[in-house]
Structure 1
Amino acid sequence: MKQIILLLLFLNTCFGISYGLDRLLPDLVIMKDGTRYEGLIIKSNAKEIILQQSLGERIINKASVQRINDADKSMVYFADLVDPDKAPPWRMMVQDLRCNDMVKSFFQIPATRIDEGYLKNVPYLSFQVNNHGEMNVYGNPKDPACVELGSYARGERLEKFQELAREFLAGYISSRSALATFYSLNLKGEEKRAGKFIFKIKPPTESDSFGAWWISIYDPERLAKARLNDAEYQKLTLPFDQIRNKNGVLKKNRELQHHDFLQTSMMDWFGKLPGFYGFYRDGANQLKVVPYISSSN
């Protein structure tokens, strides 16, 4: 949270940018029959949404939802895009993480350069989760080839993250047999196939783990199609030691450099900024959404 605030204060001072972090605007849920509900999404999973409204909580069946818009219109997903043979769009996953009380902060960071293994040269969006975690979305963010969660923590903190990561990814697995396969993975490292997807856990000791524990769901065919040549890939990534210390902690005093790199790399990849930088919970556990603002504005 401190890193986000420092960055915002700098941008506000240098560029006159105002983020309006003192308020959280309402979410909008649009049903398939055209009904619209406004409020604050306080919980979301694969089956339902709990929307806090002025008169109380409303439980909404997710199968009846056409789309969800967050307050600044930067996070939108369409329910009919969810396909059991595909990973969910990245904005849907961010929306669900935003409603998870275990996630206290979440913001985009530069993608670490991966030069070996099954994820080599695949472009991806990378996000810091709390103090020691990371979520990565590989390939086309709207139709991901791989979704990966990892943690540089150890001991009890790692165990809590493993619980969070497995529960989160399991929410997108619709088949009972695939779900059983997923939960049968050895937390110390293993991979298993379920249909077109591969479920994989990598321990911190593997050479391409960078000292973190990782769990991922990926489609090898989509990964192969998304892979870039070295020159293209290097424009979108940074070496590990320019992002984190050896223990996995984000490097101090690099927020502004990382922000500049993200602006350049996102423009190179998408031709525009994603519109969403992150969120955090304040001291009162109130959710604060941080938009992605260009310093050129």
Structure 2
Amino acid sequence: MKRPLVGVLTTLLLGGATIAGTAPATAAPQPRHKAIDFAGTVALSNCSGSLIRMPDSADNDPALVMTNGHCLETGMPAPGEVITDQPSTRSFTLLNSSGGRAGTLRATKVAYSTMTDTDVTLYQLGTSYAQIKQRYGINALTLSGDHPTAGTAIKVVSGFWKKIYSCNADGFVYQLHEGDWVWKDSLRYTSTCDVVGGTSGSPVEDAATGKVIAINNTGNENGEQCTENNPCEVDENGNVTVRQGTNYAEETFEITRCVAPGNRIDLSLPDCTLPKPAGSDG
């Protein structure tokens, strides 16, 4: 995992073509990209995160903040562990477009957290999107409801470091193994997203739309195979590939299929495939 940080220096464990003709050559039209900045991202004490909404969220719904499962303040969830409706008063620094402090948000509970199949924590706040917009002038980022596409230009936006990394979605990994954890259908970055500790939980945004398609979570630091901070790729046949220096994110479209009206996490929804707590029917 991209290590969470305490302070700035101390780390915790885990934490275009041209057209020619008789006229002068002109550049072909380039795809329009949304201007992506820090507005709607958050800084945690040890990680990055974002103020998010679902495609169908209402302005008066209680707002959600998303970061990694391994950034959970009570410790990393064990393999197979799913946490829901756990009280929390964690605070988040909400950033404006330039990366400055817009205000402080506070959780009322951990709505969902796991490091199984994916690596995500969703905090529910005591304020609505409308209230946040009124107080701070900040809109939440919207999660895409669609599976991302290889080759998509992306931005990894770290609220902790106030840094934006630009690269492309290089492809997808059947299983990503790190220590005792296994993540499924992970997104692999091209090399220019050389993220570091403290970027954990950063939203991965489609550069053309600004929608969140994944959450940054890990990278192979020194070439070890399947150890902590050195994830390995495992294909459908069990073949293992190690890519030193390569970084990864976990897709987020599946989250949108597990949220009922009112921004309520409902793991019993028919299309919801997120892991459920042991012994739970959702």
TM-score by length of 1: 0.25
More strand per residue: 2
Greater relative contact order (CA < 8 Å, ≥ 6 in sequence): 2
